[in-house]
Amino acid sequence: NAGVTQTPKFQVLKTGQSMTLQCAQDMNHNSMYWYRQDPGMGLRLIYYSASEGTTDKGEVPNGYNVSRLNKREFSLRLESAAPSQTSVYFCASSEGGARSYEQYFGPGTRLTVT
Amino acid sequence: GNSVTQMEGPVTLSEEAFLTINCTYTATGYPSLFWYVQYPGEGLQLLLKATKADDKGSNKGFEATYRKETTSFHLEKGSVQVSDSAVYFCALLNFGNEKLTFGTGTRLTIIP
């Protein structure tokens, strides 16, 4: 039981390049989330998916797109990376509904945009 | 809207010291409150929770009491260990809303 897995662990991009961060969970959870973590800012929600086939914007969605490929997988895409997107990105999942508070986090992806 | 305010860090304590990390919140209605912990190099994990006023959440020697009158949820531990070194996040969730609101985190370092 791997929990929440994320790839890659580290990535360096040049401004304007694109990339997709992958996330998968094996807990049969309904809801999945993408956060970014910046010093002094805590965690901020980028996008979330309450169920397969649905996605909603969080606090900081600009510059990102997401795909809930199936119940297990939730990817985050940067179409044209900017230095302001340098951050640590976390994927999380939960059962959803009344148990949305109990989120399980992946180990994170450290992204640097130069 | 919802917001969570945590005490500024970093906090450095000696082993076996008493710990308090302050957390206050602003929210509509009656939110549930949580503490998450992030150990070095890892993602966050739920430490404890309280779902209504006067509830006390506890886990691994940590405690926090949901105080509606002061809109607070301070984290305490009577005797900290080196292994408690981590970043601690206070968070809230409103009923019917699936999105957690996190504080900025407090980095705790325990020295032997």
Residues of chain B whose C-beta is under 8 A from some C-beta in A?
32, 34, 41-46, 49, 89, 91, 93, 97-100, 102-105
Nearest Cα to A109, choosing from A94, A80, A79, A89?
A: A89
B48: confidence class by pLDDT, cuts 50, 70, 90 = very high
What pLDDT shows up at residue B30?
84
Which residue among B42, B98, B102 sits closest to A42, beta carbon to beta carbon?
B102
From chain B, the residues in CB contact with A105 under 8 A are 42-45
Choose among A58, A102, A106: nearest Cβ to B43.
A106
Q: Is B95's pLDDT higher than 80?
A: no
Share of chain B above pLDDT 90, in %: 79
Scan residues 30-89 of A and list those with Cβ closer than 8 Å to B: 31, 40-45, 48, 50, 58
What pLDDT, on a 0 to 100 scale, did the predictor assign at position A65? 97
Note the pLDDT of residue B94: 80
Q: How far is CA A94 from the centre of its chain?
A: 13
A48: phi then psi, degrees, rounded to nearest 5: -145, 165
Residue-level pLDDT, tens digit, chain A, 114 residues: 779 999 999 999 999 999 999 999 999 999 999 999 998 888 999 999 999 889 999 999 999 999 998 999 999 999 999 999 999 999 999 988 777 778 999 999 999 999
Residues of A in contact with B105 (CB under 8 A): 42-43
> Using one digit for the tens of pLDDT, what is the confidence trace for B30-44?
899 999 999 998 889
Quick one: pLDDT at residue B55? 95
Q: What is the pLDDT of residue B46?
A: 93
CA of A16, closest CA in chain B: separation in Å?
Answer: 28
Give how far Cα A100 sits from Cα of A27, A32, A94, B61, B99, Å. 14, 10, 6, 24, 7
